[in-house]
Amino acid sequence: MDQPAPGTLDVLYAPPGASPARSDIAKGLRRRAAKLLLVSVVGFGVAFAVMLVAPSSSIPALLFVLSALTSATGAGHALYALAKGVTVSAGTGAALSALGIAATNVFMMALGAITALLSTMSFTRGRQIRAFGRILLAPVVPGSAWSEPTTKADLALAPATEALDADTRAALAAQWRENGRTEHASVAAFARLTLDLVALGAPPELVGAANQDALDEIRHAELCFALARRLDGVAARPGAFPAAARARTLSRMRSIALAELAVDSLVDGALHEGVSARVVAKLARRCADPAIAAMLKEIAADEGRHARHGWDVVRWCLDEGGVAVAGALLGALRTLPTAMRSPLPEEARAGGWERFGIMGAALEAEEYEAARADVVRRVTELAGRAAPPSVAA
């Protein structure tokens, strides 16, 4: 019998009855796989620890990626060697096919989990532009382009708001500018979504909705910057944002791209836009200033529509990608955080600024929990129809 060339997986994998030399090599392979697994587990542990200490750092995301790549390398070798072994000992195409499906599911679930982790490492008010999980925002620079008083917003503030001291008005204005920055970044995120949808051949309704949502976000950003200016008199605007043009693109492999888009739309669209809609709707009712309340009511209605559009994208990806997308979505569910970590100013945290339209921590926690439960229920239902029983959560 011909001996395989040294160094190949044919040599490394030892089927039953193999020579002692091949067994030794197989033992070495198992040891190497175990080491890779250990490195990967430690890497994930360190990444979580760093994330708790420095939630705004990009280091945890990088560690997650490196750990995932390590485990993927080990898993890839192991699965390949196993597949070769099945072929040698049984020669059944069915066994290979089963292994292939299992490997695809594992990969897709890992992909969903990692993407969800990267997407949920910071609080977001909807779709955002990210690099290694960190949300990217434009700097705030002097200028009035995004805060011109227009007929779009009646920002005649109530006497109680006008009577606030200068420090409080400046602090509130700073928070509204932060909100404005996230709304501004959402414009780029929806433009990215448009490109992704067109690249994947999505129907005109989805592409149109993404464009309409981007226009809504322009208006939200203008409203936020205009309100901030009304509060502290400072004309400031979002500056150049070159990162928007370098936003992450989808994989070239269609099945993976569909899974990525589905998970993105689930987390950023269905979940985060949904949380935003719930929070802002409640703020509109709690806000004591009629002008700010009217603005919040309008934004809440828009965000609710954006969340529904997020679900539309998820469903389309499921229709197109089937079981693989279902696996990615179920994987994403497993890593959704149970709470959001919103970087709120101390004054707002206790809810004292809700009368001015800035949420407190309790409101955010309550609405996130409700939106998350809804997402888990709906995804389990949607993906369960496409996923095989072994994958369903």
Question: Rule CB under 5 A: which residues touch Fe ion?
Answer: 126, 183, 217, 220, 273, 303, 306
Shortest-Cβ-distance residue relative to Fe ion: 126
Compute the distance between CA of residue 389 and CA of residue 109 in angstroms, rounded to an integer.
14
Nearer to Fe ion, 220 or 229 (CB): 220
Q: How far is the CB of 303 from Fe ion (least distance, A)?
A: 5
Nearer to Fe ion, 283 or 324 (CB): 283
Nearer to Fe ion, 85 or 310 (CB): 310
Compute the distance between CA of residue 144 and CA of residue 235 in angstroms, rounded to an integer.
5
Compute the distance between CA of residue 271 and CA of residue 116 in angstroms, rounded to an integer.
11
Q: How far is the CB of 306 from Fe ion (least distance, A)?
A: 4
Q: How far is the CB of 162 from Fe ion (least distance, A)?
A: 26
Compute the distance between CA of residue 322 and CA of residue 133 in angstroms, rounded to an integer.
27
Q: How far is the CB of 223 from Fe ion (least distance, A)?
A: 9
Nearer to Fe ion, 275 or 332 (CB): 275
- 237 to 44, 125, 134: CA distances (angstroms): 39, 19, 22
Q: How far is the CB of 388 from Fe ion (least distance, A)?
A: 34
Q: How far is the CB of 84 from Fe ion (least distance, A)?
A: 49
**Count of alpha carbons within 13 angstroms of residue 242, beta-carbon side:** 0
Handedness of CA 185, 186, 190, 196 (dihedral sign): positive
Backbone angles phi, psi at 238, to 5 degrees: -70, 135
Q: How far is the CB of 346 from Fe ion (least distance, A)?
A: 25
Name the residue with tokens 């997650």.
Answer: 64
Compute the distance between CA of residue 51 and CA of residue 57 in angstroms, rounded to an integer.
7
Handedness of CA 267, 276, 132, 197 (dihedral sign): positive
Pairing assessment for the beta strands 134-136 and 129-131 based on DSSP bridges: antiparallel
Nearer to Fe ion, 63 or 214 (CB): 214
Estimate the crossing angle of helix 290-321 against helix 204-232, to 10 degrees.
150
Q: Which residues contact 169 (CB under 8 A, 6 or more apart)?
A: 231, 232
Q: How far is the CB of 174 from Fe ion (least distance, A)?
A: 19
Q: How far is the CB of 265 from Fe ion (least distance, A)?
A: 12
Nearer to Fe ion, 232 or 302 (CB): 302
Nearer to Fe ion, 276 or 335 (CB): 276
Compute the distance between CA of residue 322 and CA of residue 338 in angstroms, rounded to an integer.
27
Nearer to Fe ion, 71 or 186 (CB): 186
Q: How far is the CB of 140 from Fe ion (least distance, A)?
A: 17
Q: Which residues contact 128 (CB under 8 A, 6 or more apart)?
A: 135, 136, 182, 185, 186, 189, 268
Q: Which residues contact 340 (CB under 8 A, 6 or more apart)?
A: 123, 275, 364, 365, 368
Nearer to Fe ion, 54 or 215 (CB): 215
Nearer to Fe ion, 216 or 320 (CB): 216
Structural tokens at position 229: 């200016």
